Structure 1
Amino acid sequence: MPLSLRNERARWIGLGTLQLMGWLVYGTVYYVTLQPYNPFPGIVLQQALWATGSGLLFSSLLGWSYYMLGVSQWHLGWQSLSLGLGSIGAGLAWAGVNHWGATRIDPFALPVLSYVGILPGQGSLLSHPAAFPMVLLVWSGSYLGITFWYERQVQQQRVLQADAEAQRARLQMLRYQLNPHFFFNALNTINALADESPRRVKEAVHELSGFLRYSLLDEDTLMVSLDEEVQAVKHYFAIETMRFEDDLQVTVDVDPEAAHQTVPAFLVLPLIENAIKHGQHTSPFPLRIHLTASMAESGLRIEVANTGHLRTDAPTDESTDTGLSNVRARLQAQYPTAHRFTLTEDDGWVHARIEIDPTARTNSTNHG
């Protein structure tokens, strides 16, 4: 069901519920205040039901008129005038209907007094003719106030939805930027294997299919569990290990609690690819890569460390910063004030560390 129809349906359900509850309270008060003036409880109950039922009818007609005329969009002065005239007109009509019904419910009330007088047994405040327009005036003011509140909520919801869609489009763009990037690099690895070790191409294609199964996630799946991301990393490692053989050593250590945390898809993979791409040029062989993930006081901590050094040379076609820039952009989009990304070198190791608070993620995307 479209959002606008759901909002409209929720509006009328909410107004209808408040309408029934309000008139239930009115009927109860009407009955209680009328009891001291009439010794016959059955007659009092019928009169209370008649006054409440007719009031419900007139207020519903009044509310429908306000809605059809679009009174909530009018200038404040015209709104006040329309509510006043509408309440007085409908209230007098309601008083007439109530008077007519009361004279037929109570056999002792037949033409004893005129229309503008108070019938015998009806001396309570709510049974006075002037009370009916006043009740509808209060009802009209409440209706307009609730309508204003509802329309403001709908407007805020539309703004939030627009922001969410814009955020979602940006994240999709970043993800689509990564998918062909990894696929291209994996194909390059298989191409190298075709020359170096043709017998392992079949195994590499099998690992690539596992990687692509993750790469081709449903377009709505922007968030995944860290465990899913790590499984894709293992496929990628398997392909690269076939290429580098003993020149690449990999360890993966992910705490069970961390594995269940939700992260943006393709968050860790760029760090792995970056470690392999740059590490092979700056590290003595074997190139060692450690992937660790754990829970800390600040939240989820993910680190990819590789032997070697940070490269200070200018970016080239081979050593672009696309992957890391993408990681930074996606962290900023998903965790604007609840993330930290650092790239440091220490004692022959390069450390890429991500620290995020999963509970502070923005609500602009769907979970996978």
Structure 2
Amino acid sequence: MTEVFAALADRGPAAAAADDAAPPARSFWRAHTAGWIFIALFGLASRMATFNDLALALTITLIVDPIGFGLTALAHKTILARPLHRPAVIVGLVVLCSILGGLLQMAIVNVVKDGLFAGLDRGSMARADAIPVIYYTAVFLGWSLAYFWIRADVEARSERARRSEAQAAAIRAELQRLRLQLDPHFLFNALNTVAVEIPDNPEAALEMTHRIAAYLRYSLDPQTRPVCPLSEEIEAVRAYVRIQELRFEDRLRCVVEMDPRASAVPVPHLIVQGLVENAVKHGLRTCIGPLEIRIAARRLDDDAVAIEVTNPGRLVPRTDDRPAVGLANTRRRLELHYPGRHELTLIQEGETVVARLVLKGTACFA
């Protein structure tokens, strides 16, 4: 019986979202009907063993068990479905109703035996009134126990689903805040660059403006697409780097090496932006001579992609305890999108600073 009622309890977040199509009441009636079919079959076999009379066993089953079905359905409607503000009262009512139900079923069984099968010798066991009372009281108590257990499990699952959805909504809000934090950070720097170039180099300022417009078009995509192909992310990075190339002229260039197998891999918007911006900012500060930013993306296997951003220069530790805004933002977004499934390292290799990013699997909240 408990296994039958488990169908009612097996409702995860996806099933909870489909409640409009399949209300909980419908699940209850399916489980309730299946449970009583099992009880009726078990009761039929028990009565056959007790009475050794198929006609009597079948008659009692067809009369008594439907009444039990109705009694438990009535209990569900009137007592069990109510909020458990006073559990002791509910438990007392359940026990009392189970005993009364057992007595009623006993009386019905006796009427059937004495009225329809009065001439049959059924032995002392069949005549003992205590047997049907104990049996049906146990059935009702067992049904009630299963009902409360399944109800508690369903409520616990629903609460976990609601809590999970609330946590997911909070994470989505944080991801949106982190993304919005990146946009003003980039645009502030880019517009300052345009303002510097307008008096002396209006053509470069015009191209910068076009590049900023292209970046803005890309940054609006997360409203409808939380992720994008890696190739689009790299193109947005190119727009940023091109603005810096125009500003610093011969001091800066960017080289991109894209594995064709990695170009279509979906990644969160602006997940590479912070690494490249960090390389440009700190590379220009520590590199003597031209700064070449190299971006390499390759597919490791069917489930992982690796992205490297390298620049000549020195990895200089910060003098304060606060991490760079862009890098801290990227780390947090990675924790949310790829929990336990990402690697981000920033190391010195000879005269080169290397930022390595490995993404495994599909981004969460995609």
Interval of TM-score (by shorter of Structure 1 and Structure 2):
0.7 to 0.9
Given the superposition, is the C-alpha separation of residues 313 and 128 from structure 1 closer, same or farther in structure 2, using an over 3 Å criterion? closer
For residue 322 of structure 1, what is the aligned residue in structure 2?
A: 325
Given the superposition, is the C-alpha separation of residues 80 and 135 from structure 1 closer, same or farther in structure 2, using an over 3 Å criterion? same
How far, CA to CA, are the matches of 1:94 and 1:251 in structure 2?
A: 86
Q: Please report how far the alpha carbon of residue 328 of structure 1 lies from its aligned counterpart in structure 2 after TM superposition.
A: 2.4
Residue ranges of structure 2 left out of the alignment (5+ in a row): 1-12
Q: Please report how far the alpha carbon of residue 323 of structure 1 lies from its aligned counterpart in structure 2 after TM superposition.
A: 0.9
Q: Please report how far the alpha carbon of residue 303 of structure 1 lies from its aligned counterpart in structure 2 after TM superposition.
A: 1.4
SS in 2 for 1:309: coil
Q: Is the 8 A contact 2:105 2:132 kept in 1?
A: no
2:303 aligned with 1:292: no
* Residue identity opposite 2:155 in structure 1: E
SS in 1 for 2:296: strand
Q: Render the CA deviation track for 1:57-112: whole Å, top value 9, x for unaligned.
A: 211111223334334x544x555433211222234445556777x58xxxx94484
Residue ranges of structure 1 left out of the alignment (5+ in a row): none
SS in 2 for 1:69: coil
Given the superposition, is the C-alpha separation of residues 39 and 50 from structure 1 closer, same or farther in structure 2, using an over 3 Å criterion? closer
Matched length: 345
Q: Render the CA deviation track for 1:155-206: whole Å, top value 9, x for unaligned.
A: 3333333333333333222222111111222323333443454335554433
* Residue identity opposite 1:65 in structure 2: T
Which has the higher mean CA deviation after the structures are superposed, 164-173 or 175-184? 164-173
SS in 2 for 1:353: strand
2:170 aligned with 1:163: no
Given the superposition, is the C-alpha separation of residues 172 and 53 from structure 1 closer, same or farther in structure 2, using an over 3 Å criterion? same
Given the superposition, is the C-alpha separation of residues 182 and 272 from structure 1 closer, same or farther in structure 2, using an over 3 Å criterion? same
SS in 1 for 2:221: coil
Q: Render the CA deviation track for 1:298-318: whole Å, top value 9, x for unaligned.
A: 943221111223345758xxx
Q: Is the 8 A contact 1:27 1:48 kept in 2?
A: yes
* Residue identity opposite 2:325 in structure 1: T
2:261 aligned with 1:250: no
How far, CA to CA, are the matches of 1:160 and 1:205 in structure 2?
A: 43
How far, CA to CA, are the matches of 1:111 and 1:152 in structure 2?
A: 49
Q: Is the 8 A contact 1:27 1:52 kept in 2?
A: yes
For residue 61 of structure 1, what is the aligned residue in structure 2?
A: 74
Given the superposition, is the C-alpha separation of residues 3 and 134 from structure 1 closer, same or farther in structure 2, using an over 3 Å criterion? closer
For residue 354 of structure 2, what is the aligned residue in structure 1?
A: 351
Return the match for 1:308 from 313, 316, 328. Answer: 313
Using the aligned pairs only, state the percent identity.
29
How far, CA to CA, are the matches of 1:264 and 1:94 in structure 2?
A: 65
Return the match for 2:275 from 271, 278, 292. Answer: 271
Given the superposition, is the C-alpha separation of residues 47 and 275 from structure 1 closer, same or farther in structure 2, using an over 3 Å criterion? same
How far, CA to CA, are the matches of 2:141 and 2:215 in structure 1?
A: 67
Q: Please report how far the alpha carbon of residue 356 of structure 1 lies from its aligned counterpart in structure 2 after TM superposition.
A: 3.9
SS in 1 for 2:256: strand
